[in-house]
Amino acid sequence: MSGLSSAATSIRQNRGLYGALALLVLLYLVYNILHPRGFSSAVLIQNANESVAIVFLAMAQTIPVLLGGLDLSVGAVMTLAACIASVLVNGSPFQIIFGMLVTLAAGTAFGFCNGLIVVYGRLQPIIATLATGAIAMGLALFIRPKPGGDIDGDLNWALTNSLWDFVDTYGLFNPDAAWFAPFSWIPVPLLIVGVIGAGVWIPFRRTVMGRTIYAIGSAEGAAYMSGLPIDRAKIAAFTLAGFFASCGGLYLAIQTASGNADITQAGAYTLNSIAAVVLGGTSLLGGIGGAIGSMIGALILRVMSFYFRILSIDPLLQPLVEGVVLLVAVSLGAFGVLRIKNRLELFR
Amino acid sequence: MSDQPFLQLAGISKHFAGTRALENVDFACDRGTIHAVLGENGAGKSTLIKIISGVLKPDAGTMKLDGETVEFSRPSEANAAGVVCIFQELSLVPDLTVADNISLANPPRRLGMIDRRAQRQFAESILARIKCEDVDPNALVRDLSLSRRQMVEIAKALGKSPRLLILDEATSALTRNDVETVYELLAELRQDNVASLFISHRMNEVERLCDTLSVFRNGRHVETFAKGARSDRDIVRLMIGREVDAQFPPKPAAGARAPRLTIENLSWENRLKGASLTVGKGEIVGLGGLDGQGQKELMLALFGVLRGVEGQVRVGARAGIPASPVEAKSAPSRICLVPEDRKTEGLMLPMSIADNLLAASYAKVSSGPFIDPGRERSLVDDAIAKLHIKVGSPQDAVATLSGGNQQKVVIAKWLMTDPEVILLNDPTRGIDVGTKQEIYRLMRQLADEGRAILFYSTDYAELIGCCDRVVIMYDGAVVTELSGEAINEEAIVAASLNITSSSMESVS
């Protein structure tokens, strides 16, 4: 088999992903052209900062969706993690790192519990996580009844600016060194998303556990008959979702230098995470798609909202426009239905 | 080899919700043999292999493998012991690639991650072994044709290096060349001292391949014998048992009947290739042939489920193919379809018996948008009384009924619409003998009322006993039509295999 034909196969099998990527590139190019200070590091940094949380949440949502489920607790887990971080992430470097680890561990453990409840409680993911999401919100309110908190200022500055600022803040080496110049403009938030996304998701996808998640969403009966570890994979899926959600929460706390147990915000994040997953080409029926697509989907949603700032569109129209764009984008993916010759297959 | 058989079952029983699937079965199978398991539908073959391969747990009895008692509680445990089954319903994951599927549960790994290169090479080597080099290991299973998928399924089983390989109708969808390949493969495996259990309805396959034959009937193991020890006629008798006659209502004398349903040159995708037949007023026409020759698609096409059907259909005075089930069931067509799978296509299992009965006829019991409870109750009570459905209360969930009574609910639902043409897709599958006989009587009664019935069955005895005429489908078309005395087992089997021997009394 030639490399060319396998590349063609890969493109055909990932149409949704490549389509979303093309849309994102187009949207962002036009955005920069229209922006008075377009194509500058400052704009990129600001945009990246505002995208991290939703990108992580979209990745979190992807994994339960691949199973054929939904996780309605991701926004709440993110909020819980942000509130924990707003208490713990300060003090000595050791305390800061400890606080970050505790934050991530708490979200991961919460996801693990979601998995246990879904598998051993035999509950539908959507209702189980609706309930646990409310619990997470309650815990978040308990930790932080009023918005506020204390996040290490250096950390806030270092993680929300370019690599140059990161190196400068911690005095790692001379940030003006000639060899560093080609990289110094890269926004740190972009790097965080890239490293965690690529470092966790891509290897995970290539484990038996990751494959089992796809198999369950695609044909659970066949997965069982093939002797795959179904229960463990479901628990792993929700655990990983909790981990990504807490990554989002941790970053949100660092970025805003505070924690805020905002119920409305948590709900909006959850719903946007589902929209991002669908935009990124993952099927809500499960089995098809991936977290990379969801990252792209989340970025598309964010870039759309940036447009409202630079074009003088009434911000009140924002939900309306976003809804229409989402509907159109998702409809493009539904054209396959028209090719189905046996209508009974529509219901399978 | 030791004296002890490789696989030994003793006293295995299994019951489902009151019906007996297996009763006190003793069974043994040796390494280095190909062992056929024969029996009618519902004889317990599927239950047997599901127990051997760890899908079901027996209610009683023990299983020994290689002299050791084993108890499999899931398929993965059976696989680990070298028991691998190729199931009829494919166990492939459609959204993963061929290579992923072949080494699904236990892929080659490096540093904990799947080694995709090794996995692809493994898939290529196995596909080459079964002469499927044309299958791209990177293709998604969903993009493959049914016959290729079945070959991938076989590749997947081979990849697990089985000691006991079970093939459940594994050749039903294969092309002729692939079937030859599978035969060669099985012969090779016999050389390698693998035990194979072969479940098939095709007698010629069994004759050609197998060394030993076991016959099952009504959940019991009737007899095991070496190939050649019994004639085909004896085997059929063993499969059917003694109670063949007198379970069907008498047929009326054949006569000229006005055609009610006429089909000409019906084609769809590559599953229907110019099928033509007619069903007269008051006539029961059997639709026979091997599984998957287009019978189901024919019925779905008539009921308006398929898109892009070509050909002519005439129902009474109305010409044209119905565009949807709604159009099919309404006047002037008035067609109804009792579907293949009653649990997914026939019934809404969690809903009540009454709701299911009314599902196709809400217009009859409604005034404007509201359902009239009085009319609803009287229609439901009539239907239950007419078909003798055994219910506690019509408000119970239909899932609480036995299989036979569920099927009666499906039939009663459609009779409520007063259909002119009744399409029955294997309506007696998985149903007890008593209910079967009631359904046969009902069919005759409906025909006598002047309705046209097209009746697909995988059970030859039903086709012979119930039908005024039988048409046999092969490869998407009607190849033979039998009527009167010509409807007999040999003729049906020969036509199903598309053998046109001059000694067969076929009328076409």
C-alpha span between A216 and A227 (Å, rounded): 11
B 134-153 → A contacts, CB under 8 A? 136, 138-140
Q: What is the pLDDT of residue B207?
A: 82
- List B28's β-bridge partners, or say none: B8
Residue of B nearest to A287 (CA): B95
Domain with A114, as residue range(s), is 51-329
C-alpha span between A176 and B401 (Å, rounded): 79
Helices (H), A311-342: 318-333
The identity of residue B11, as a single letter, is: G
> DSSP letter at A281?
T
Contact (CB<8Å) A342/B156: no
pLDDT in tens, A230-245: 999 999 999 999 999 9
- Which tokens hold the place of B408? 């009666």
CATH number at residue A63: 1.10.3470
B-chain CB neighbours of A207 within 8 Å are 112-114
Pairing of strands B83-86, B164-168: parallel
Do B437 and B465 contact (CB within 8 A), yes or no? no
- Which tokens hold the place of A170? 């911690």
Residue of A nearest to B268 (CA): A341
pLDDT in tens, B177-199: 888 888 999 999 999 999 999 88
Burial of B386 (0-12, 13-18, 19+ CB in 10 A): middle
Do A276 and A58 contact (CB within 8 A), yes or no? yes
Q: Is B93 on the interface with A (CB under 8 A)?
A: yes
Instruction: Look at residue A18 and tell me if it is in a domain.
Output: no
Which of the four pLDDT bands, split at 50, 70 and 90, describes residue A133?
very high
What interhelical angle do A230-256 and A188-196 show, nearest 10?
A: 170
pLDDT in tens, A31-50: 999 999 988 989 999 999 99
Q: What are phi and psi of B477, to 5 degrees?
A: -140, 160
Do B470 and B478 contact (CB within 8 A), yes or no? no
Q: What is the pLDDT of residue A95?
A: 95
pLDDT in tens, B461-476: 889 989 999 999 988 9
How is A23-53 classified by DSSP, letter by letter?
HHHHHHHHHHHHSTTTT-HHHHHHHHHHHHH
Q: What is the pLDDT of residue A149?
A: 87
The share of chain B scoring above pLDDT 90, in percent, equals: 46
B44 Cβ neighbours under 8 A, 6+ residues apart:
B21, B22, B25, B216, B218, B219, B220
Q: Is A201 on the interface with B (CB under 8 A)?
A: no
| Test mutation, A67, A205, A208, chain B, max B CBs within 10 A | A208
> DSSP letter at B138?
T
A 10 A CB-CB count for B19 gives: 14
> What class has domain B7-240?
alpha beta
More confident residue, A314 or B430: A314
Nearest to B418, CA basis, from B339, B347, B329: B329
Which of B91, B112, B306 is opposite residue A222, by nearest beta carbon? B91
pLDDT in tens, B328-350: 998 888 999 999 888 888 899 88
Which of A214, A218, A342 is opposite residue B306, by nearest beta carbon? A342
Contact (CB<8Å) B268/A9: no
Nearest to A114, CA basis, from A165, A80, A146: A80
CA distance between the termini of chain B: 54
Which of A9, A10, A225 is opposite residue B75, by nearest beta carbon? A225
C-alpha span between B238 and B232 (Å, rounded): 10
Instruction: Look at residue A338 and tell me if it is in a domain.
Output: no
Q: What are phi and psi of B83, to 5 degrees?
A: -100, 115
Residue B397 has pLDDT above 60, yes or no: yes
- Which tokens hold the place of A309? 């700032």
Q: What is the pLDDT of residue B1?
A: 44
pLDDT in tens, B101-116: 999 988 999 888 899 9
- Which tokens hold the place of A5? 């034909």
Which of the four pLDDT bands, split at 50, 70 and 90, describes residue B42?
low
C-alpha span between B420 and B282 (Å, rounded): 10
Q: What is the pLDDT of residue A263?
A: 93
Q: What are phi and psi of B262, to 5 degrees?
A: -125, 130
C-alpha span between A86 and A103 (Å, rounded): 10
Instruction: Look at residue A161 and tell me if it is in a domain.
Output: yes
Q: Is A200 on the interface with B (CB under 8 A)?
A: no
Contact (CB<8Å) A207/B112: yes
Torsion sign, CA atoms B462, B464, B470, B476: positive
How close A285 comes to chain B (CA, Å)?
11
Exposure class string for A290-316: b at 16+ Cβ within 10 A, else e: bbbbbbbbbbbbbbbbbbbeeeeeeee
Which of the four pLDDT bands, split at 50, 70 and 90, describes residue B271?
confident
How many contacts, defined by CB atoms under 8 Å, are there between A and B?
Answer: 95
C-alpha span between A174 and B445 (Å, rounded): 96
pLDDT in tens, B56-100: 899 999 999 998 999 998 888 999 999 999 876 678 998 899 999
Pairing of strands B109-110, B195-199: unpaired
Contact (CB<8Å) A215/B268: no
C-alpha span between A121 and A22 (Å, rounded): 42
Which of the four pLDDT bands, split at 50, 70 and 90, describes residue B507?
very low
Residue written as token pair 């899926």: A237
Collapsed DSSP state (helix, strand, coil) of residue A184: coil
User: HEC string of B18-45?
Assistant: CEEEEEEEEEEECCCCEEEEEECCCCCH
What are the structural domain ranges in chain B? 7-240, 258-334+419-508, 345-417
Provide the domain count of chain A: 1
Instruction: Look at residue A335 and tell me if it is in a domain.
Output: no
Do B258-334+419-508 and B7-240 fall under one CATH topology?
yes
Mean pLDDT of A253-279: 93
CA A238 and chain centroid, separation = 14
Domain B258-334+419-508 has CATH 3.40.630.30: no
Which of the four pLDDT bands, split at 50, 70 and 90, describes residue B175?
confident
C-alpha span between B340 and B456 (Å, rounded): 9
